[in-house]
Amino acid sequence: MSHSPLQVPIVQLDHAGDLPLPEYASDHASGVDLLAAVEEPLTLDPGERALVPSGVAMALPPGFEAQVRPRSGLAAKQGVTVLNTPGTIDADYRGEIKVILINLGAEPVTLARGDRMAQLVVAPVTRVAWEPRDDLDETARGGGGFGSTGVGSGV
């Protein structure tokens, strides 16, 4: 299996020049870390959310998306997560990638410029063409869901 990376055009919208491109933090990390491209430190009070710029825009090839996911360290240590996780970056989006962070912890959390705030995972997507029908094929599960399987159908 080939591991050659997907080539993705990227633009650094933040022109200060001190922020590197989003990078993979280990050899086989799934996501690149998105950096907070804030001019001044940003403090999120408990319960507060913010739309935080990443400083980058990209042109994903058709057939791919990017998912904005939380970093577990930030979540476990400080209670900060991505409100709309996984955020969806469409292949035809050319604007700045922004991260909706929320502080679910009990203490204020401050993000400094360049702090790694979330991770971005590029993944293939399948688009569908609907085939309208009057009914669907039968399966053992049928319409059962929401805890329908197992002893007593409990949770």
Ligand X SMILES: O=c1ccn([C@H]2C[C@H](O)[C@@H](COP(=O)(O)OP(=O)(O)OP(=O)(O)O)O2)c(=O)[nH]1
Name the residue whose CB lies closest to ligand X.
87
The correct pick among 56, 60, 98, 119 for binding ligand X (CB under 6 A) is 98
Q: 23-51: b or e for each residue (b if 16 or more CB lie within 10 Å)? A: eeeeeeeebbbbbbbbeeebebeeeebbe
Comparison of 6 and 59: residue with beta carbon closer to ligand X: 59
The correct pick among 44, 97, 102, 122 for binding ligand X (CB under 6 A) is 97
Stretch that binds ligand X, among 15-23, 42-50, 97-105, 127-135 (CB under 6 A): 97-105
SS3 153: helix
Dist. CA 119–CA 66, nearest whole Å: 10
Dist. CA 94–CA 133, nearest whole Å: 36
Question: Cβ of residue 45: shortest distance to ligand X, in angstroms?
Answer: 21
The correct pick among 23, 45, 90, 107 for binding ligand X (CB under 6 A) is 90
35 binding ligand X? (CB under 6 A) = no
The correct pick among 31, 53, 55, 87 for binding ligand X (CB under 6 A) is 87
CA atoms within 13 A on the CB side of 7: 0
The strand pairing partners of 130, in sequence order, are none
Query: Binding site residues, as ranges?
Result: 71-73, 84, 88-90
Taking the alpha carbons at both ends of the chain, their separation in whole angstroms is 39
Q: Read off the tokens for 15.
A: 């022109």
**One symbol per residue from 55 to 84: x for binding ligand X (CB under 6 A), - otherwise; what is it?**
-------------x---------------x
Task: Please give the residue ranges that form the binding site for ligand X (CB under 6 A).
Answer: 68, 84, 87-90, 93, 97-100
